[in-house]
Structure 1
Amino acid sequence: MRARPGGAPLVGRERELSALVGAALSGPGGLVLVPGEAGSGKTRLLDEVAARARAAGVRVLRGHAVPGAGPFRPVAEALAGAADPALAGDPRLAPFRAVLARVLPTWPAGARDPSPVDPVVVLGEALAELLAVVAGEGRVVVLLDDLHWADRDTLAVLEYLAGRLDGTGVPVVGSVRSDEAPPEGLAPLRRARVAVVELGRLDADDAGALAGRVLGGDVADDVRAHVVAAADGLPLLVEDLCARLVEDGAVTRRDGTWRAAGPLPTPVPEAFADAVAGRVAALDAADRDVVRVAALLGRDLPWDLVPLAAGTDAAAAATSLRRAVDARLLVAGPDGALRWRHALIDDAELAALTAPERSVLAARAARALDRHDPSGRDLAGPVLARVAELRARGVDPDRAAALLLRLAREHRAAGAPAAALAVLEQATALAGEAHRLPVAVERVEVLALSARTDEALAVGEHLLARADTPALALALARACVASERFEEAQRLLARAGDEDDPRVRALAAHVALGRGQAAEALRLAAPAADAADAGVPEAACEALEVIGRAHRRGDPERSAAAFRRAADLAERHGLTAYRVRALSELGVAHLFGVGDGEPLHRAAEVARDAGMLGTATMLEVQAVAVDNGRLGPVAAAVPAQACAERAGRLGLRGLRGQSLGFVARGRVFADRTSEVDALLTEAASLSANPVHTASARALATAHDRWLAGDLPAALPAYDEAVDLLRRAEGANPTPSWGERAVLRTAVDPGDPGPREELRDSDVLVQSLNRGALHLCDAVAAAGRGDDPGPDLAAADELLRHRPFFRHLMRCFLLEHTVLGDPVPVLHEVLAWSAGTAEVRLTRWCRERLRALGAPVPRPQRDLTDVPADLRALGVTGREMEVLRLVGDGLANPEIAARLQLSRRTVETHVGNLLAKTGASGRGELRSRLTP
């Protein structure tokens, strides 16, 4: 024979091979499924695809699924050789480092994301980005064998990648059995956007040709016909039958042709199990025992466990395994690792054992492996799963339940809730009295993590009806608090044990705050805030969060102190999720106050490093709100667009809608108004509260009309924007309230309505609205003949941290005379906007200067580096060049020569500089250059 065992030539697969190689070398990317019966040659076909792809310079990543291997096993194997931990430093992968640690053990681990983001979606995003980085400027193809054995979470990730990778040029090709009931999760995968390359049986001609290639020479017609009929078109069985015919001496080679030496054996498909049993029976008793234990251990465990499980020494086990290779039960791969020659052999051997035999072997193997470390600390992953299965088979259900509970917690930590729930279902069926409650609590927490609160309650309350179990009641209450079901949470807390328990008090405080009972929340939270000393830092962090939120409006300093304490406590105890929550609350204070948003950016960075992408996206959207005031709406639209794209991929509809609102605002100020309507229409379809989107649309109209110089149309649009918020209880205190009040007051100082409404409202929690009120009061003071200076100074103190809104509202005030000469105001706005993309605001200022007959800085000179304070005085780029040379001590003739100007022109520039800066001479001019 010419073919090594398991290495039959590829015959009759030209069409399928062409399709898969085309997908690997030049296809658009996405998922390709290769369904076929066991023995149809799926693995051999993928081997050939891999070889041809490598020959063409395509990087090949290969993995395979095996039963009981845990979540994401085939993906992890495929990436193991390509995803070096050094890649974690790639900026594109920064948000996904901890997420990728779920499948790449050498990468840094992260925390659980408390935001309602499907972990499968997050991992799918991470894998798509990683594959793009691995591909670089070339191509990469992922080949996954035996997906019929993949867990539900792996299949869900592949379903997501089917759409995500389409058009990226990164194909994922997976083989799957088509001759048995598909596992749960495979049906949705087949319905997804996937290409299918069906692998059917070989026809008679191809099967005969394959027999000749395997045997290596001509084959007599009767032998060929026998092999073709017996194999029934399955390449594996063609190979197996040919090997058996030669081994048994049923065919011999005479005159270069393989001919029958006597009666040919029974066809293989009907006798495959008998053939396997015959090979096993030919071994001696000790070798048979090792082979049967190996079958129990599964297809993907380290073979060094076999001696331990079989109760023999390593040398004897190695000899037995060698004999199993000789008997064509096992085969050595290119790397020397052993595997079953075909999965059917493993299945056939297990099926050949009686139930008592399986039970006895399983119990013995389980005891041996569990004894490897009696505490079970070394058991993890596939080994843990297999020992749990062996314990169940060996009639030790309580120990099996304990091990399955640990396995479920592993899956949960890996971001695989579906796999965790599947294991917990098994544990529930097996658990005795000792483990029934821990298993139920874990199910509740995994269901809550998956935002399946109703199911969590159904599971937990079924047990609560039979017995009071405080730990379970507390877990159910926590699930209800997370989903803001405060009535149910309070009812459950009454059954959660000691009301002085810090965990109970912290959750009760959260419930009270959620129901609007701030005083009661503070009473409950105060003792729990010191729970870290009692060894319950989570409760202390939660209580401090409640205290900070309860004091946010009435005592901002006390609020911030509570959040800072919570953040420090969480950092000390490694409670990443609580740290992010505390930092985000501090960031909200910056959002409404005068800070620069640094806590928001820091919280987002911590969240990204921990793999909490949903939370990170939410924080980034909040940071965009701060940047909108600091950098301007055009600049803020850039990160807003990135947030919208990320939120959309993560399924965060509300956050995508908020982000698109900021993008739309940026488009108005960037003079791209044709895009605004579509953006706001989509935002409205995504928002749970359409009031804010409707208000944003009216505000966009107000800005557009004002920037176009149409003040009469801008005013009613502003009225509409605020009226929508006025009628929505609990609406955000957006700066549009202050903008409207300033513009209305400047246009009609005699109407106190807008400013008094602002004064009496609760939107003054927003510092921009407080600054706007001071500007309105300055107009009123000027109307009374009083000094507006104090109010203008107070407004500047509040608004200087958000320069865009400061300049916008000062432009509104130019409808009045309270600011005096408008020219310096306009120059100051132009100084700020120089180098930005605030196209329309810059244009508005230039048009106003022209209307006033004032000099308008030439745009090209705005590119010169002029300090903001000097540009605000109207200093041009050319004048700045002259000023710097004056500072160097050069006289006018030297400056003229240096800049290639006439002496008279230089004298004019120096005169302008003296007038604009108010300097008395060249010496004082030089002082303006001092930092």
Structure 2
Amino acid sequence: MPHEGRTSFVPAGPSLVCAELIGRDAEAAVLRRRLAATAAGTGGVVVLVGDAGAGKSRLVREATTAARDVGATVLSGRAVPGAHPVAYRPLAEALLAASRTGVALDSPELAGFHGHLGRLVPAWHTASTGLDDSPVLLGEGVARLLTVLGRDRGCLLVLEDLHWSDPETLDAVDHLADALHDSPVLCLATARPDGAASGLVERLTRRDPDSTIPVSALPPDDVDRMVSACLHTVAAPSGLEAFVRTHSEGIPFLVEELLAGLVASGTLAFDDGRWSSSGELVPTVPGSLRESIRRRLAALDPTTRRVVDAAALLGRRFDWQLLPGIAEVDGRDVVDGLRAALAEQLIEVEGTGFAFRHALTREAVLAEVLPPDRMHLSRRAWPAIERAHPGLSGAVCEQAAELAEAAGAPEEAADRLVESARRALSSGALVTAEATARRARRLAPDDSPVALAADEMLLHVLVAAGKPGDALAVGHELAGLLADDPDRRADLLVVLTRAALAAGDTAAAVAQVDAARTASAGDLDEALGARIDAVAAHVALDDDRPGDAAALARAAVDAAADTAQPAVECEALEVLGRVAAARGPDAAIPWLQRASDVAERHGLADRHLRARQEIALARWGRGELAPLRETRDLAQRYGALITTAVMDLSLADVALSNFDREGALTAARSCAAASERYGLATGPVAHLWLAGAYALAGDDAAMQASVDDALARDPHDPRILGDLYGRVLATRAFVADDLDALPGVLDTMMEHVRVAPPRKSIYPGRALWVTVHAISDDDLGAAARAEFAETAPALGVPLFTQALDVVEAIARGRRGDADGAAALMAPAHAGLRTAPLGSGLVHAQQLLVARAAARDGWGEPATWLRECEAFFTASGHERTARRCRALLGATGAPVPRRGPGTSDVPVGLRALGVTGRELDVLRLVAQGRSTREIGASLQLSTKTVERHLSSLFDRTGVRNRGALGDLARTHGVVDG
């Protein structure tokens, strides 16, 4: 049937819809100011809050018109009423419109967010969709996309009727309120005071009172003005304004509806260019919307009434081309019916389609449809929309479920809801997924296949949502119902095993594995066997049976490869890596590398990233930082922002241990910002390492502010307090040359370490603590050394292993056993010098040991102090470097000074005492210059050059120019 143009539906006589915005000058002014601020780069979220019919949508139209007038991008979406709303529907509707314009996603700001945006727009789906699922991260992706769209002239995102919205959309909007603050994007939402959005509105108002705009009832004078505007007259019939004031309660929509009701009843008429009324207004004109709608429906002929009822069944906005089949009338009757409904002010033309004038209008019409008629219409509407939308994309699946339920087909409704729950689960909308799966189960007849499917879906949702106890309760009952389907029952038991592991119930996990093996009655499919073996390997590992875990994992790897199950293969390889890690982190790397290769080859983004993360952490343990940075970049490309933050946290930890202030500041700031923005658990430690970075920078005020942030969640958390004293404040004591503060802060550290959960943190400050007590205590730190010796070996940290020998050397030196002390210290010192990580902590401990050795007369304190001085000078910690030079002078050793040369001396050469001028000489020697040529180049006498050469030979221990050249190349003084 050809489409009818808009002009075909213009009703005879004046429209009763008010063309003016009346009584909303203040609200409109606020919106104009917010739009102007947005164009200047200050956006955010504004919610228009008011009762149904208060005029929120009219204000939205004013805002969208103003935004389009200045060339801003305008996107809009809305929530719709339903038993369980579709996850992210308003956002998806808005961004789908953007996707049709060919939005470029290659902007640097969107790097890593394609997967999150792919949950809203299927065309943007990537392999990483599903990594780090959360409404907050999705909201961040939306914020960044909108910022890109609004870069030139701003962007307005309209989200209407949030009182009907899903929880995930509300969480995303909550995030947008902060994320859009410094962007050229305004999110304008509407909501009623009650409903799903009430909590969001309360939170937004608490944080920023200007983020909500109340849209209240109109005062009497404005109601009178609106009556005149609706009637296009300056003189309304006598008594009409008073009547409308009394019965509209100042609600603009009701003003229009009351007038429409009067016209429908014949009490108000337009004739010869003027309005007139007849009869008593109060008794003949209904005062409620429902009565007004009822009177207008009664004026329609039966065919038109059936068309309107069918339209109401489809929603406020409806596909009018489906109406002939649903209402059982021909196309011309539908057109005539729509024209009549338009004349009765029930519907309006919207673009190339139609919509009920207001959500309340549709609700009132639907309330008038008798149950038998609703069932009959639903039986025709349900298949009609399924034929019109193959695959039931988007919100159509939920709509089909509601129509099937209304049609008296609960099993079919449940079937659609199971699919809707599956989609919500795949998009990370776990709250919506759980509610939808439970509704499906309530609708599905007991013992029906759909009931089993609903229970299975609910089980998967509960496992994904981290509710293992609920999952086990559902799963145990379900397993008994699948006795006749052994393979399906075995797969279910595999899921239950994972739930038991998540709940920490190893015994239950063992029982589930055994049940899964017996479910197939000895006829175990190879693919299913691989899945069972893979999860059984996890169970064996948790049950402290590494041998069994390895055997099961190897079997799972082979079977998974043979049956093309790469995810299962990766899972089993990860178990083999964990088993091998008991022999040392290097032993795990080959297995993890295999898992990484399999995952990358098959596009398993989550498995690939997990394997790379484990490899990076293993290599970090042996001092390789490049894998950490590479994994961070990979996580960012995948949009796995939680993993990105964890990698930043590790890099900040490394930098702090190395006394690298810039590295610590950069990584800790990045992690702290991400933690705060996305609500990550990494936040407290990120702020703690940021405090450490500020300690390295000598900024006490910023350090204290970050400490306050670190303790904001739990001021008594011993894990945070332990590293606060042992890392942050101990570091500050060194770089501020306040060594007298060390004993106090380190003892306080140990008070917290002793009550903190074991193995949750390493607390490297313990090495400094035991060193200080060995140096200072009258009993040579006997108690501290005993406690440290009991706990250190189990942690497997090189710094702790060497510290055991260091403190024993200190004790021997204090007893007068200089040779014994030196014999122990030499290999410990060599090991610490080559330690891959923690160079700052190593040199801090070395400074303490050197001071004690000089006092007690043993070892090589001058050598150790020169190394410390070189390190702290190169690191920019001048106060500590001066302390080293002062201690060197006290030993009678030459004190390093920066010579008149222009070169910066590499740390290794500075540790040998090489000065800047000697470095200039060394560079020219390495270039093959003669003594005379060196003197001419540096404007030095031959004797002065010879004196510098003699000093270089003494300091470096080499005896010819060729060896000096080799040394220069080794330290990067010259190329080649």
Structure 1-normalised TM-score?
Answer: 0.82
Contact kept in structure 1, 2:158 and 2:188, CA below 8 Å: yes
1:277 to 2:268 alignment = no
- Picking from 90, 98, 101, the partner of 2:115 is 98
Choose from 681, 690, 693 the match for 1:663: 690
Match of 2:462?
447
Judging changes above 3 Å, is the alpha-carbon distance between structure 1 residues 245 and 904 closer, same or farther for their aligned structure 2 residues? same
Q: Which amino acid aligns with 1:397?
A: P
Residue 86 of structure 2 corresponds to 70
- Go from structure 1 to structure 2 and tell me whether the alpha carbon gap of 1:289 and 1:828 turns closer, same or farther (over 3 Å shift): farther
What is the one-letter code of the residue matched to 2:421? A
CA distance in 2, matches of 1:921, 1:353: 105
**Maintained 8 Å contact 2:726/2:745:** yes
| More divergent stretch after superposition (888-897 vs 93-102) | 888-897
State the AA in 2 paired with 1:183: G
Write the letter of the residue equivalent to 1:45: L
CA-to-aligned-CA distance 1:389-446 (integer Å, 9 cap, x gap) = 2222222222222221111111122222222122212211122420222211222222
Query: What secondary structure sits across from 2:654 in the alignment?
Result: helix
Contact persistence 2:111–2:639 (CA under 8 A)? no
Q: CA deviation at 1:543?
A: 2.8
Deviations 1:858-909 (A, max 9, x none): 59989x56555555555555665676677778899998998xx8x3489747
Contact 1:641–1:659 at 8 Å: present in 2 too?
Answer: yes
Deviation by residue 1:273-323 (Cα, 9 ceiling, x = unmatched): 2355257537xx4x7665544432224566666677678999997887677
Aligned match of 2:358: 342
In structure 1, the gaps of 5 or more residues are none
Provide the C-alpha distance between the structure 2 equivalents of 1:258 and 1:203, rounded to a whole number of angstroms. 24
Name the SS of the counterpart of 1:529 in structure 2.
Answer: helix
Matched with 1:568 is: 597
Query: Are positions 1:186 and 2:205 aligned together?
Result: no
- Give the % identical residues: 29
Distance 2:763 2:95 in 1: 46
Distance 2:871 2:690 in 1: 21
| 1:626-681 superposed Cα distances (whole Å, 9 cap, x missing partner) | 3444573663243123323433444444x223223323333333323455566556
**Alignment CA distance shift 1:744-1:930 (3 Å):** farther
Query: In structure 2, what is the Cα distance between the partners aligned to 1:253 and 1:906?
Result: 118
Give the match for residue 647 of structure 1: 675
Give the alignment's Cα RMSD to 1 decimal.
Answer: 4.8
Kindly indicate whether the alpha-carbon contact (under 8 Å) linking 1:814 and 1:822 is maintained by their aligned counterparts in 2. yes
Q: Which residue of 2 aligns with 1:209?
A: 225
Give CA deviations for 1:72-124 in whole Å, capped at 9, x if unaligned: 22234445566898675555543544223333444444657687x8x233334
> 1:930 is matched by which residue type in structure 2?
D
Contact 2:87/2:169 (<8 A) preserved: yes
Report the residue type matching 1:205 in the other structure.
D
Query: What is the count of residue pairs matched by the alignment?
Result: 912
Aligned to 1:251: 269
Q: Give the Cα separation in 2 of the matches to 1:139 and 1:627.
A: 40
Residues 531 and 663 (structure 1 numbering): CA distance in 2 closer, same or farther, change over 3 Å?
Answer: farther
Within the alignment, does 1:400 sit opposite 2:447 as a pair? Answer: no
Distance 1:85 1:843 in 2: 62
Once the 2 structures are TM-superposed, how far is the Cα of residue 386 of structure 1 from its aligned partner? 1.5
Distance 1:322 1:856 in 2: 96
Residue 190 of structure 1 aligns with an amino acid whose one-letter code is E
Task: Give 1:482-497 correspondences, 5 Å limit.
Answer: 482-497=502-517
Residue 5 of structure 2 corresponds to residue 15 of structure 1? no
> 1 CA distance for matches of 2:621 and 2:359?
63
Aligned-partner SS, 1:193: helix
Q: Secondary structure at the match of 1:219?
A: coil
CA distance in 1, matches of 2:59, 2:871: 64
Shift of 1:532: 1.8
1:481 is matched by which residue type in structure 2? L
For 2:444 and 2:964, how far apart are their aligned partners in 1? 86
From 520, 533, 544, the counterpart of 1:505: 533
Amino acid aligned to 1:407: S
Residues 531 and 556 in structure 2, CA contact (< 8 A), matched pair in contact too: yes
Residue 617 (structure 2) pairs with residue 588 (structure 1): yes
Secondary structure class of the residue paired with 1:40? coil
AA aligned opposite 2:696: F
Post-superposition shift, 1:146? 1.7
The DSSP-based 3-state class of the residue aligned with 1:552 is helix
Instruction: Output the CA distance in 1 between the equivalents of 2:703 and 2:431.
Output: 41
Stretch moving more, 294-303 or 639-648? 294-303
CA distance in 2, matches of 1:761, 1:888: 49
Asked if 1:357 corresponds to 2:366, the answer is no
Shift of 1:43: 0.6
Pairing 1:439-478 to 2, within 5 Å after superposition? 439-463=454-478, 469-478=489-498
- C-alpha separation between the residues in 1 aligned to 2:396 and 2:123? 19
TM-score by length of 2: 0.79
- Superposition map of 1:57-206 within 5 A: 61-68=75-82, 70-79=86-95, 88-109=105-126, 119-128=134-143, 141-162=156-177, 172-178=187-193, 182-184=194-196, 186-187=198-199, 189-190=201-202, 192-193=204-205, 195=209, 196-206=212-222
Distance 2:944 2:324 in 1: 97
- Letter of the 2:452 counterpart: L
Q: Residue 948 of structure 2 corresponds to which residue in structure 1?
A: 912
Distance 1:246 1:544, change over 3 A: same
Which residue is 1:765 aligned to? Answer: 796
CA contact (8 A) 2:624 2:836 kept: no
1:163–1:889: structure 2 CA closer, same or farther, 3 Å change rule? closer
Conserved 8 A contact 2:56-2:190:
yes
Cα distance in 1 between the residues matched to 2:28 and 2:463: 45
- Secondary structure of 1:197's counterpart equals strand
Equivalent position amino acid for 2:250 in 1: G
1:799 aligned counterpart, secondary structure: coil
Deviations 1:685-734 (A, max 9, x none): 64799443343244245444455556576357556656865776435444
- Equivalent position amino acid for 2:683 in 1: R
Q: How does 1:627-642 map to 2 (within 5 A)?
A: 627-629=655-657, 632=660, 635-642=663-670
Alignment of 1:303-702 (within 5 A): 329-333=346-350, 335-371=351-387, 378-432=391-445, 433-463=448-478, 469-498=489-518, 501-533=529-561, 534-596=563-625, 598=627, 600-629=628-657, 632=660, 635-653=663-681, 655-673=682-700, 679-680=706-707, 683=710, 686=713, 690-700=717-727, 701-702=729-730
Which digits, 9 at most, give the CA deviation of each residue in 1:115-173, with x for residues without a partner?
Answer: 7x8x2333344445555665659865543222222223222333455566678896543
Query: 1: CA distance between counterparts of 2:643 and 2:345?
Result: 54
Matched position secondary structure for 2:692 = helix
Q: CA deviation at 1:535?
A: 4.2
Distance 2:632 2:16 in 1: 54
Bigger drift between 739-748 and 338-347 goes to 739-748
Q: How far apart, in 2, do the equivalents of 1:922 and 1:730 lie?
A: 53
Aligned to 2:253: 236
Instruction: Provide Cα deviations, 1:218-237, integer angstroms capped at 9, x if missing partner.
Output: 33442555655565533334
Q: Report the CA distance shift for 1:824/1:524 in structure 2 as closer, same or farther (over 3 A).
A: same
Q: SS at 2:189's partner residue?
A: strand
Change (3 A) 1:479 1:577: farther
Counterpart residue type for residue 577 of structure 1? D
In structure 1, what is the Cα distance between the partners aligned to 2:15 and 2:868?
80
